[in-house]
Homo-oligomer: A and B are copies of this chain.
Amino acid sequence: METIKQFELSKEYLESLRIAIEGEDGSFIQESFEGVNVADIASMLEELTMEEALFVFKTIDKQVASDILTELEDDTLDKVIKEMDYQELASYIQLMDSDDAADMLNLFDDKESQEIIGYFDDKAKSLQVIDLLKYEEDTAGGIMAKEYIRANKNWTVVQTINEIRRQAENVEKIFSIYVVNNRQHLLGRVSLKKIVLASDQTLIQDIYEEELISVTTDTDQEEVAEIMRRYDLESIPVVNAKNVLVGRITVDDILDVLREEAEEDMQAMTGITDTVDEYDSVIKLTKARLPWLLIGIIGGLMGAGFIGFFEGGLSKVTALAFFIPLITATGGNVGIQSSSLVVQSLASKSAFDDSLSKRFLKGLLVAILNGLILALFVFGMVVLFYGNGARFAMVVSIALFSVVLLASFMGTVTPIVLDRMGINPALASGPFITTANDLLGLAVYFLVAMSLLNL
């Protein structure tokens, strides 16, 4: 096959790279990286020691090294930048696209990043980056780049092509050309395809499209992602409050946002603090998992205290203990189902969303239906197999029914409340809420038992 496919990272290649580094064979390293995507080179560097990686950095082309820095995993990046002085860092950072440069500088505090920017030779880039650093990291302003093509509506096609030529090195991917008036207000867009097909003297104002979706600098990055997905956009212009074009977000950054948000949700749901992965140290992994486990344990101890409170009744009717797991597990399952449905619908808000009261009513109906079916089933099973009599079976099934209702309510309300407080609603399926629901379930179960069995 003639086409170069994805680079195959092999242990054999890694070995030969190591030998080349040891022998300081710079030309082998440069040749072997030719035509390899920087994302793949970055993966390879992750496997080397810090000294090896730094040798590679100094050997290869400055632009390639700069591209690699933007692709490194956070942990490796932290280590690499600690080994470089500010002047060296500046020489790499100024070669990055403005959005990547700003992300990199956000790893430093204000004073440090000012010092690094001070070393930039590229004054235009330093102004762009200083502007980008103003915005919150997870807003459109924080993820946009300053590299894009802007055409005045009075330009001709040939003038626009000259602008593309002038910017060819800075703007790697063009997608659309944004059309502005003399005051830089965003008016619309014209596709590169139209430019290719139009005659040289055609005026931009005669071929541009006015229908254009834009976001403002303070739009949340998750909302930007949803807009780009909904309208099938590969790039979106960012304007300030006065509709002046200030940046552009491309879809490759949005794919990273989506992955980041999905990981955040997964972590919120499964009770892992910090972003960790399998490659982290045992200590770091333990630390990330311990806090939520401890909360679960404290909840469990409170549950134990709570059941202890009913010890008298429990010692009379030991069978009450048998159904504790049934009650807590069902409460947990119902709660998670409810909250995941709400989280899903919060992620895709629409102008025609059902009102809160209508949602609750519907949730209540579903819970009643499910609760009734499960309670009847459990009633039958307990009477048949556990032989504690209908009265006891009644206790278990009434408690179960109440727990289904309660867990469904909590599972619906908690994510909505969290969302309104500006907290990630996925936390509603997390260990904290699950633990709280367990305790509630136990309370319902024993209260029902105590009153129905006169214990």
Known: A9-B352, A228-B255, A278-B341. A307 touches B290 (CB 8 A): no
Q: Which of A435-454 contact B (CB under 8 A)?
A: 435, 438, 442
Docked-complex contact B326 and A300, CB < 8 angstroms:
yes
In the complex, chain B residues whose CB is within 8 Å of the CB of A5:
213-214
Q: In whole Å, how far is A2's beta carbon from the nearest beta carbon of chain B?
A: 6
Q: Please classify the interface of chain A as helix (H, G, I), strand (E, B), loop, or mixed, using the class held by over half of its residues.
A: helix
Which residues of the other chain, B, contact A350 by a CB distance below 8 angstroms? 9, 43
Q: Which residues of B contact A324 (CB under 8 A)?
A: 321, 324-325
Rounded to whole angstroms, the CA-CA distance of A209 and B330 in the bound complex is: 58
> Is B186 a contact of A3 with CB atoms below 8 Å?
yes
- Does chain B have a CB within 8 A of A4? yes
Contact A438 B329 (CB under 8 A): yes
**Contact at B271–A256, with CB atoms within 8 Å?**
no
In the complex with contacts A1-B243, A214-B3, A278-B354, A174-B188 CB distance below 8 A:
no
**Contact residues, A307-327 vs B (CB, 8 A):** 307-308, 311, 314-315, 318-327
Is the beta-carbon distance between A164 and B197 smaller than 8 angstroms? Answer: yes
Given contacts A9-B351, A286-B369, A330-B296, contact A325 B311 (CB under 8 A): no
Copies in the complex: 2
- A370 close to B (CB within 8 Å): yes
Q: Is residue A173 within 8 Å, beta carbon to beta carbon, of the partner chain?
A: yes
Chain B residue with the shortest CB-CB distance to A333 = B296
Tell me which residues across on chain B come within 8 A of A366, comparing CB atoms: 282, 285-286, 289
Q: Select which of B164, B232, B329 is within 8 A of A193 by beta carbon.
A: B164
Closest to A381 in B: B301
A15 interface contact, C-beta 8 A = no
Interface pair A234/B435, CB less than 8 Å apart: no
Whether B276 lies near A256 (C-beta < 8 A) is no
Known: A266-B340, A323-B300. A373 touches B290 (CB 8 A): yes
**A35 part of interface (Cβ distance < 8 Å):** yes
- A4 and B211 contact, CB distance less than 8 A: yes
Closest to A37 in B: B231
A444 to chain B, nearest CB (A): 13
**Residue on B with the closest CB to A441?**
B325
Contact A286 B164 (CB under 8 A): no
Asked if A455 CB lies within 8 Å of chain B CBs, one says no
CA distance A382 to B308 in the complex (A): 12
- Knowing A290-B370, A352-B47, A442-B325 touch, does A272 contact B232 (C-beta < 8 A)? no
Measured between beta carbons, the chain B residues less than 8 angstroms from A229 are 252, 255-256, 259
A263 to B348, CA, bound (A): 12
Separation of A336 and B429 alpha carbons in the complex (Å): 12
| Residues of B with C-beta under 8 A to A68 | none
A333:B373 contact, CB within 8 angstroms? no
List the B residue with the shortest CB-CB distance to A372: B286
Residue A386 is within 8 A (CB to CB) of chain B in the complex: yes
A378 interface contact, C-beta 8 A: yes
Give the contacting residue for A252; candidates B234, B296, B326, B370; CB below 8 A: B234
Contacts of A429 in B (CB 8 A): 270
Looking at the assembled complex, report how far the CB atom of A189 sits from the nearest CB atom of chain B, in whole angstroms: 10
Are A6 and B325 within 8 A (Cβ)? no
Q: How far is the CB of A380 from chain B (nearest CB, A)?
A: 11
Query: A210 at interface (Cβ–Cβ under 8 A)?
Result: yes
The yes or no answer to A90 lying at the interface (CB within 8 A) is no
Query: Which positions in A face B, CB cutoff 8 Å?
Result: 1-6, 8-11, 14, 35, 37, 39, 43, 46-47, 161, 164-165, 168, 173-175, 181, 185-188, 191-193, 195-197, 210-214, 225, 227-234, 239, 243, 250-252, 254-256, 258-259, 262-263, 266-267, 269-272, 276-279, 282-283, 285-286, 289-290, 292-294, 296-297, 299-301, 303-305, 307-308, 311, 314-315, 318-330, 332-334, 336-337, 339-345, 350-352, 354, 359, 362, 365-366, 369-370, 373-374, 377-378, 381-382, 385-386, 429, 431, 434-435, 438, 442
Q: List 8 A-B contacts (CB under 8 A).
A: A11-B351, A232-B252, A266-B340, A272-B337, A285-B366, A300-B325, A314-B318, A333-B431
